Amino acid sequence: MSATNVVKSHEPGMKASVFFRSFRLGMVLCLGLLSVSGLMGRELRVGYGGSEPFIDISGRTASGVAVDIWQEVNRYTDFKFKQQSTGSVSDMLKLLEQGEIDVLVGPVSITEERHERFGFTHPFYVTSPAILTNRSDTSFWKMIQPFLSGPFLIGVTTLLGLLCIVGAIIWTVENKENDAWSQDPVKGIGQGIWFAIVTFTTVGYGDLVPVGKRGRVLAGVWMVTAMITASSLTAGIASAFTLFQLQHASIQGPADLTGRTVAVIPGSSGEDFAARFSRNIRPVESVPEAVKLVKQGKVQAFVYDYPVLNHLLNGEPELRLVRTHDLSEHYCFVFRKGDPAISRIDAALLKIREDGTLRETLERWGLDTERDES
């Protein structure tokens, strides 16, 4: 067979192969165009959730830092969007998972558990946790409060009762055998209490000394008992003072959370952070509830995002904020897993970061941008 015939015999197969490749390429291009056109005309149902200054839902429409950034981002996209729902971050995440909204806008930080369930954009703000606590109280009442604590009062009351009992017994067994003891019950018992006190304190003035066998045995028993009682009482008082100081010493950093009751919002990065330092974790539903507990002294600290707590600190002179840099928190917009809109939002976030719009927005709200630029 000649070469010409071989080429001719393969021409139909080659033409069919070229046709199918062209057809597949055309289908891919069509699908791509349909996908892009679908994204361009898509209307996103937005759920706004979080706390001020990032989200303020007190009005008819949401406002705040996150809302302004979301609007700036969508200058570079063709998305339309409408406010669908407002509430807490946890409530909005439930609606997102149920398909009631398409995107959650607010100060939502990435956690391991959230990352497995949702799709996150690039961060629009980077911050860190902070510790909200009461200012140290150095008033006179706080100084004498350890002396009015339960363990201290119980110890003192027990000791006084024991001194009276010993005084009464020693007078009973000594007043008939020892002329140094008064025969009058009131004065005699008073002398017995005096004897119990000087023996307990190991002063031993020697003005009252038991001379009878029963009195000396009783005095010996009381001396041994007094040593044990004094040691136990001293230890109890020391424990009460130590516990009081631990509970009321000022919190200067995360290490000071050890042994304290710390309020957290379940699911937040502050919960994981607080659990690293304290075992006494108290879950709360909202930021205002946690702040109220701190004011009332029912918890010693509340761990949450720094910008939110710093915003709340205005007008709260009795509260103090301790900022930490042990953990970075990245605020992102949240979609369902695999949503193609994420890549468009990411590209728009890069644009407003590069042209300075993002920085200007944060500064307009009084937020620091040092960590955001790092």
| Lowest mean per-residue pLDDT among 45-59, 110-124, 267-281 | 267-281
Rounded to 10 degrees, what is the CA torsion of 114, 70, 329, 358? 160
- 8-state DSSP, 368: -
Residue ranges, comma separated, of all CATH 3.40.190.10 domains in the chain are 42-127+329-373, 253-323
> 59's torsion region: left (phi>0), alpha (psi -120 to 50) or beta?
beta
**Range 137-149 average pLDDT:** 60
- Residue 309, pLDDT above cutoff 60: yes
> 202's torsion region: left (phi>0), alpha (psi -120 to 50) or beta?
left
Distance in angstroms (rounded) separating the CA atoms of residues 117 and 123: 17
> DSSP states of 219-271 as a string?
HHHHHHHHHHHHHHHHHHHHHHHHHHHHHHSPP-SGGGGTTSEEEE-TTSHHH
Residue 353: band (very low, low, confident or very high) from pLDDT cuts 50, 70, 90: very high
Q: 126, 109 in Cβ contact below 8 A?
A: no
Query: What's the CATH code, domain 142-248?
Result: 1.10.287.70
Render pLDDT for 155-167 as a digit per residue (tens, 0 to 9): 778 888 888 998 8
The CATH T-level fold of domain 253-323 is: D-Maltodextrin-Binding Protein; domain 2 (3.40.190)
Supply the pTM of this predicted model: 0.59
- Residue 29, pLDDT above cutoff 90: no
- Residue 12, pLDDT above cutoff 80: no
Q: Which is nearest to 134 in space by CA: 257, 284, 299?
A: 299
> DSSP states of 145-175 as a string?
GGGGSHHHHHHHHHHHHHHHHHHHHHHHHHT
Render pLDDT for 48-95 as a digit per residue (tens, 0 to 9): 999 889 999 888 899 999 999 999 999 999 899 999 999 989 999 999
Residue ranges, comma separated, of all CATH 1.10.287.70 domains in the chain are 142-248
Residue 373: band (very low, low, confident or very high) from pLDDT cuts 50, 70, 90: very low
Residue 243 CB burial class (10 angstroms; 0-12, 13-18, ≥19)? middle
Q: 65-73 vs 357-364: helix axis angle to the nearest 10? A: 160
Which residues are bridge partners to 43 per DSSP?
80
The domain over range 42-127+329-373 is classified in CATH as 3.40.190.10: yes
Q: 150-174 vs 213-248: helix axis angle to the nearest 10? A: 170
Q: Which is nearest to 209 in space by CA: 175, 246, 251, 180?
A: 180
* 96 CB-near residues (< 8 Å, 6+ apart): 47, 102, 103, 104, 118, 334, 335, 336
Question: Residue type for 366, please?
Answer: G
Highest mean pLDDT among 19-28, 169-178, 247-256, 357-366: 357-366
Q: 131, 251 in Cβ contact below 8 A?
A: yes
Question: Residue type for 112, please?
Answer: E
| Lowest mean per-residue pLDDT among 73-87, 230-244, 317-331, 347-361 | 230-244
Distance in angstroms (rounded) separating the CA atoms of residues 256 and 101: 41
